[in-house]
Chains A and B, each alone.
Chain A
Amino acid sequence: MVLLKVSPSNFEILIGRLHPLVIHLPIGILLLVALFEFLSRKEKYAVLRPAIIKMAFWGMISAIFSCVAGYLLSKSGGYEKDLLAWHKWFGIALAVIATAFYIFKKIDKEFKQFGIISSAIFTIMLAVTGHLGGALTHGEDFLTQPLLSMLGAAPVKVVRKPITNINEALVYKDIIEPVLEQKCVQCHNSQKQKGNLRMDTAELLLKGGEHGKIIVAGNTNESEIYKRLLLPEEDEHRMPPKGKTQLTEQEVILLQWWIQTGASMDKKAANLEKDDKVKTILASLQVGAGIQETNENGKEVREFLEEKVPNPATKDIESLTKMNVSVDVLSPKNGWVNINTVNTSDFNDAQIGLLLPLKLQIVWLNLGDSQITGISLKTIGELINLTRLNLENTTVSDAGLQNLSKLKNLQYLNLVNTPITNAGLEILKEIKSLKKVYLWQSKVTLVGVEALRKNLPNCEINFGEELIINNPIVTK
């Protein structure tokens, strides 16, 4: 046989692609043949005997056709060689046995036990061939992986850590590889190598496939991988092919960015040049994305903590709502909670302890106009993820403020109309995370405020001094 690489004609491709469909015919028919053969040994089911030969005929035909179709399919390539060979020979052997079975039945040679033995053999072969075929299409661990996990013995699947700081993220490992893994590797891996291409490791990805390299560093226009992403979905060269999960617009932009900047395997996101579009997409990859603020330097500042906090327990929420304290979950994707005592003006130090079970979740706490005093600040100091705290119109005093220095995320503090004095501001100096402090109608003086402004240069301190009078700017 001359080994010539001839690409199959469209008709051949069609027949080949029918293989996954038609193989179910011999499976079904031959299993029924085996069942009938077994049953009809009893006189009670003798009536089945004439059917066996008819079914054996169609079993043979469909098995042979499956072999032909399977062979044509294998010509389109991309399958793991060893596995394919086993599947092919088992399949052919199965067709041969089915044919032999039919012929022996036809000429009515009545060997003792022949029928039952041969039908047992092709049942086993059906199982083996079918399994090999499944392994070819879905991957070798298709069945074993969940099976092993059920037994608790599965190799742990690589779990990617969520990106907490996008600037430190490795562009290939943390950003590009997950995309390829989700959208490409299914057909380009150790078992299935469509176009002789493997994308499951960085080296093999750079090596390319039957058409050569797919990535030309720094040149997306020459990079086959990118060109194919942009082809219309109807195009037969389009990747991922029509019907498979496509890359999102953002993923395409990221891939283009990665290739254009040199397709590096080890650089960090911070070290590559990026335009605004890429910046926005990158920012959205970070956990807790969607709530960033940008300061003057264009550096992103996030209001809430990066890690996910567990969702609050219903009973903890209910213990508060029972007392008419409003509890709002701020984001369904995270457990952040906003607490407001606007409905309970008598909320006091005795009840503050009810907040403790939610100490991780509370980010906004509004105790304005309530009866709490400095004593409550001890408990509030435990709410480590707090970003906004309203204490206006309460009697919290300097003494308790010390507790707030434990709040490393506190950005907004409202002390309007409280007996806070300059002594209290000394403590606030230590809370470097503060961005807004409101002190109107408190007991502080301008001197104290100026000193605090020096210590917290990035914090807007509102003392109400320029706002009390509302006079227009007079124009000449």
Chain B
Amino acid sequence: MTNDLQDQVHDQMSRRTFLTNSGIGLGAAALSAILPNTAQANDSFHKIGPHFAPKVKRVIYLHQSGAPSQLETFDYKPKLEAMWGQNLPESIRGGQRLTGMSSGQSSFPLAASAFKFAQYGKSRAWISDLLPYHKQIADELCFVKSMHTEHINHDPAITFIQTGNQIGGRPSMGSWMSYGLGSENKNLPAFVVLLSKATTNPDQPLYAKLWSNGFIPSVHQGVVFRSGQDPVYYLNNPNGIDKSSRRNMLSALSKLSEDQYKQVLDPELDSRMKQYEMAYRMQSSVPETLDISKEPDSVFNMYGPDSRIPGTFAANCLLARKLAEKDVRFIQLYHKGWDHHGNLPRDIQIMAKSVDQASVALIKDLKQRGLLDDTLVVWGGEFGRTNYSQGKLTKENYGRDHHPRCFSIYMTGGGIKKGISYGETDEFGYNITKDPVHIHDLQATIMHLMGIDHEQLTFKFQGRRYRLTDVAGKVVKPILT
């Protein structure tokens, strides 16, 4: 990449530049071109792509943290009903490593879904009674039932799905999109994160590393919008500081940064000034965008009663639509509480209730506003759940452990085939039998829809060029229109 950060620094540090700068300061003119002044800051967000004409302009990623069970939602396995309570055949498990939470069990009794399945829509998509609202939009969705990952525990698996690597420190998917495509809206960050309040056992934390920019310039990091009075920490002016003194302060600071830049040539200074300027613009754009008070009742009815309570998944879905209307590039939602090791039938109902109506409302709302044609919506967790019960299996109660070998997600939006189901698992719902889709494949596909070639978008760091998909990833062409 020609505008590689390190090359840029290297160019700036060339002998000639160094001499002119440290000499009589003739390089000042050149430098002002490198370090944008405030007037230019608006469109100075450097961008690389798209590499080819995109299908969609933005992504809304509804991440279901904790990993919802595919066997209770979209992947129907009647065999588990027939073999209820019997031990998982060793031939199916194939000696797979299990988490410490169930590896000590003396038996692995197969557990069928406590919720009835039926087929809906022209596409005859299997959906369980757990998600009644989803039945209405069966023909809008593209189910991928053959997702698989490499990680068996939450943190590495979520980090993997977000950054393409199980250890933190790499840029998040949204940061890559911001880096590659920039933002159409100059008053809001390209990468916005909405965290939902947990409805049940909130024991799985979400760390800021999930929306970190990693080693690419910090201007691309995800910005968390919180619910309530102060959506972004320290965004508003403190008491006694008005808008014009803030402006004066920023202008003076910008001059100081320019001076410092001449001495140390640290590109992070540029990044920092851009963020200050962005924050200044966000002081008015954020309250305006997040204001849902003017939404009519019909909208709240559509998203469900929770949508009136700030910080719920439903309220965040509504905000996601508002951010999409404002052309925010990557809108990342997280909803915690899907980690049902025990008491699954009871707890999963609470979780399903909190997402079902709102997820569907979001998709319908995007559609009626004509936004679904250039938006990609992704709904899914970080891995799947086992087909055997963790802990004691009874007719009423069971639990499911982590299962990386297969899980289901769905997507919808521009460029994606609708009303299809891609990939298949075996009759036990344990292994993939057809068209596996790896996390890197999913990432490559999302990038492809945004007009990015996942092999071309790289960033050189510590002597190596990095990509979101590392050295793997294949675009899943069969699900594209």
Contact = CB atoms under 8 A, between A and B. Distances in A.
A and B pair up:
yes
Interface of A: 290-291, 293-294, 303-304, 321, 324, 326, 328, 330-334, 336, 338, 340, 342-343, 366, 368, 388, 390, 392, 412, 414, 416, 436, 438, 440, 462, 464, 467-470, 472-475
Interface stretch (B64-72, B171-179, B365-373): B365-373
B209 to A, nearest CB: 30
A473 B53 contact: no
Given A330-B50, A416-B370, A472 B43 contact: no
Contacts of B129: 475
Contact of A475 (B50, B116, B327): B116
Contact of A390 (B43, B301, B357, B370): B370
B369 A470 contact: no
Interface in B412-464: 451
Contacts of B356: 472
Given A326-B184, A436-B373, A462 B368 contact: yes
A294 B132 contact: no
Interface string B40-60: 001100000011111001000
Q: Tell me the dominant secondary structure on chain A's binding face.
A: loop
Contacts of B325: 368
B131 to A, nearest CB: 9
A462 B301 contact: no
Nearest to A321: B43
B111 interface: no
B322 interface: no
Contacts of B136: 470, 472-473
B185 A294 contact: no
Contacts of A464: 368
A288 to B, nearest CB: 9
Contacts of B187: 343
Given A330-B50, A470-B361, 5 more contacts: A291-B52, A321-B43, A330-B53, A340-B184, A343-B187
B302 interface: yes
Given A290-B52, A333-B52, A475-B116, A470 B360 contact: yes
Interface of B: 42-43, 50-54, 57, 116, 118, 120, 129, 132-133, 135-136, 182, 184-187, 298, 301-304, 325-327, 356-357, 360-361, 364-365, 367-370, 373-374, 451, 481
The 9 closest A-B pairs by CB, nearest first: A472-B132, A438-B370, A414-B370, A464-B368, A470-B302, A326-B184, A331-B53, A473-B135, A467-B368
Given A333-B52, A412-B370, A470 B186 contact: no
Contacts of B298: 468
Contacts of A321: 43
Given A293-B481, A473-B120, A467 B364 contact: yes
Most chain A CB within a 10 A radius of its CB, from B50, B57, B184, B365: B184
B116 A290 contact: no
B135 A472 contact: yes
A323 to B, nearest CB: 10
A343 B102 CA distance: 53
Given A326-B184, A475-B116, A462 B327 contact: no
Contacts of B186: 324, 326, 343
A355 to B, nearest CB: 16
A416 B184 CA distance: 21
B44 to A, nearest CB: 11
Contact of A436 (B132, B357, B370, B451): B370
A290 to B, nearest CB: 5
Nearest to A328: B184
